[in-house]
Structure 1
Amino acid sequence: MRESVHQVKRVLVIDDEEGMRATLAANLELEGYEAVEARDGVHALELARQQTFTLVISDVRMPGLNGVETFRELKRIQPELTVVLMTAFALEKLIEEAIEEGVYTVIYKPFSMDHLARIVARAVDSPAVLVVDDMPTVADSIVAVLRAAGLSAHAVHDGRAAVRYVIERGADVCVLDLVMPDQDGVTTCAQMRRLEKRVTVIAMTGHSVPEMVNAIMSKGGYTCLRKPFDALELIHTIARARGDAAALLSVPPARA
């Protein structure tokens, strides 16, 4: 029987370059994780059938199975697995497909180990998207789209409920409506940003409220999307926010 991922924070590192693979594994172990190395996609699938992993970090360009193909096969073996891809190449169709199928984020080489540590800390902690909109049909429809893309997503319908959700259950990204009764998005964002486990906030609005947009950005908001927005635009924005070092600067890496 596989042990619970809540008991062991085990990270699978997949890269055909031995030096890169060993460096990543060594740094992850310094952060308190158990790191397991796989030399290619086939090896990774063998390991995934034998052990449970909290997170996978995989290179995209590899001989045999590439990183995206490996990601797809890994998700069949362990559907709840969180996967981060690494690449030295500009965004290409293959990577776009992976993002739209639920990859946590894409890290572009070269990157610092500090950057990686911040992403890993968030990815193994609460890799979920919280959607907040006072119109339940809007919030629920966004959640349905995100789940269909392979992302963990949940909805609440007011600002206070959103803050409680983050405290009690956790989320690393919040898609937050700006204009809501009782407690608006700006106030909700400010409260979330004061929490120990801070959340990356992607604002959204169907109103012309430049003052509120400026206010939420000044309080640490990542960006603001104008309703109605394309579902793929949101999915790509979430992946980009998760991999953006600037959005993570105020979040200290949490040791396992």
Structure 2
Amino acid sequence: MVEAQAAQETKRVLVVDDEEGMRLTLAANLELEGYEVVEARDGAHALELAAQQRFTVVVSDVRMPGLNGVEMFRELKRLQPDLVVVLMTAFALEKLLEEAISEGVYTVIHKPFSMDHLARIVARAVDSPAVLVVDDIPMVAESIVATLRTAGVSAHAVHDGRAAVQRIVERGVDVCVLDLVMPVQDGIATCEQIMELKRPVTVIAMTGHSVPEMVNAIMSKGGYTCLRKPFDARELIHTIARARGDAAA
């Protein structure tokens, strides 16, 4: 427990890439951002390191000899279940990446990308890798949270807009899945208050009503997208992963 807390305090990042030049560049840039960086030359090496020490975030290439990045991710999660994993790829690999996202990968970024882009993603992943679900119907909110947790996504629920804003102030949250139509304080007002906090939180709206004016309003206030209820788990999980990558672009 003490070792895990120490890793969080020092923000230890594991960089995994079989291309030495890329690995060194990533490591050097993340060190400049203040992280303690450990390098692994491939998936097997990463597993050896993860068995010996705790990490906050792993940044890994997907295509590598031996274990690919997705296979490595699965093994890493067995060693350190709370580990946040960001995957990088220059290839489509649709099925493989879809599987990884469905199993809880934080996000996938596509090469080439800027180092500033990567630094912003890592900062969000280190500081607040959790989803907040806001719905005034407790059964709906809790059901969405249970689905996300089953897929390996850290998630919590509140049941009104005011509680959502308070939660974001008090605890780390990087994505808020927000119902539009709620009593007392609707999703528009809640989104507005979230944006005023100046925190790196992405708002994904959701609604089961035909309210185009509200959808337009929340998008104009910085919302990422709006999902129509009922939506399936895969759609939400993939939207969260995509939003996490896009938010830092």
TM range (shorter): over 0.9
Distance in 2 between the 1:122 and 1:91 partners?
25
TM-score normalised to the size of structure 2? 0.97
Tell me how far apart the structure 2 counterparts of residues 13 and 205 of structure 1 sit (CA, whole Å). 39
1:1-256 matches, within 5 Å, as 2-4=3-5, 5-244=7-246, 247-248=247-248
CA RMSD of aligned residues (A): 1.0
Structure 1 length normalisation: TM-score?
Answer: 0.95
- In the alignment, the residues of structure 1 paired with residue 191 and residue 234 of structure 2 have an alpha-carbon distance, to the nearest angstrom, of 23
Letter paired with 2:3: R
Q: Determine if contact 1:15/1:38 at 8 Å carries over to the other structure.
A: yes
1:3 Cα offset (Å)? 4.6
Preserved CA contact (<8 Å) 1:25 1:36? yes
Residue 134 of structure 1: CA displacement?
0.2
2-structure distance, mates of 1:180, 1:91: 40
Cα displacement string for residues 192-228 of structure 1 (whole angstroms, at most 9, x for unaligned residues): 1111323100000001111110110011000000000
Give identity over the alignment, percent.
81
Q: Deviations over 1:222-243 (max 9, x none)?
A: 0000000111000000000000
CA deviation digits over 1:103-143, x for unaligned, max 9?
A: 00000000000110110110000100000000000000000
Deviation for aligned residue 1:94: 0.7
Shift of 1:2: 2.6
Q: Does the aligned pair in 2 maintain the 1:136–1:157 contact within 8 Å?
A: yes
Unaligned runs of 5+ in 1: 250-256
Read off the aligned partner of 1:52 and give its amino acid letter.
R
Q: Deviations over 1:170-194 (max 9, x none)?
A: 2000000000000000110111111
Shift of 1:42: 0.6
- Deviation string 1:131-170 (CA, Å, 9 cap, x unpaired) is 0000000000000000000000000000000000000012
Distance 1:248 1:22 in 2: 22
Q: Which runs of 5+ in 2 are unaligned?
A: none
Once the 2 structures are TM-superposed, how far is the Cα of residue 91 of structure 1 from its aligned partner? 4.6
Instruction: Answer yes or no: is the 8 Å Cα contact 1:192–1:198 preserved in 2.
Output: no
- In 1, Cα distance between equivalents of 2:8 and 2:46: 21
Paired letter, 1:204: M
